[in-house]
Amino acid sequence: MRLKNPKILKKLNDLLIMNHEIETTYLEGLEYVYRDDLKTYFRERSFERYEFGKLLQSEIEKLDKNSEYSKNNFINFSKIKMNIKNALLFQYEVDLLREIREIKYLTINVYNDLLLEHGLPLSLCKLLIRQRDQIQDNLTLLEREKSLVA
């Protein structure tokens, strides 16, 4: 099945790249956190984003076999990523949790924006909703953790 709307493919590619970048950020974070619960959290979120990426890539390939993944299309969240690295380096746990929360809000908004597009295949809608809801559930847990740390 070929998707007729290139805008949707661009958004899907952006989301795929965003998931890859966030996966990488979590993996890098493992080097800097010392608490076992944070290490577990980072490892689980990294794996989760890896799985999201595999599933998204599969859906994109179903829609357009010739689709290219270009980092030029990626929504730039380098400021948040830099803030995370600073929080990790200086072991500012509250700042770290705040920046991770910001990434989750940003990601949820990207999913919601994509879900508003007309003409998405049902299998893709289900996948996007499942991934978005999983991120939302993790955000709720993170906010509980942040209230305990603060």
**Domain count of the fold of the chain:** 1
Instruction: Give a yes or no: residue 14 inside a domain.
Output: yes
Question: Which tokens is 19 given?
Answer: 């998931």
Per-residue pLDDT of the chain in tens (150 residues, 90 and over written 9)? 566 678 888 889 889 888 888 888 888 878 777 888 888 988 999 999 999 999 999 988 888 766 665 444 444 556 566 666 666 665 666 677 777 888 889 899 999 999 999 989 999 999 999 999 999 999 888 777 666 554
Instruction: Give a yes or no: residue 26 inside a domain.
Output: yes
Write the CATH number for 137: 1.20.1260.10
Domain that holds residue 20: 6-149
* 49, burial (CB in 10 Å: exposed 0-12, middle 13-18, buried 19+): buried
Tell me the whole-structure pTM to 2 decimals.
Answer: 0.78
With beta carbons less than 8 A apart as the criterion, state whether 131 and 52 touch.
yes
- Helix (H) or strand (E) holding 62, with range, is helix 36-63
Question: Which tokens is 69 given?
Answer: 């993944």
The DSSP secondary-structure symbol of 30 reads: T
Instruction: Give a yes or no: residue 1 inside a domain.
Output: no
Instruction: Give a yes or no: residue 63 inside a domain.
Output: yes
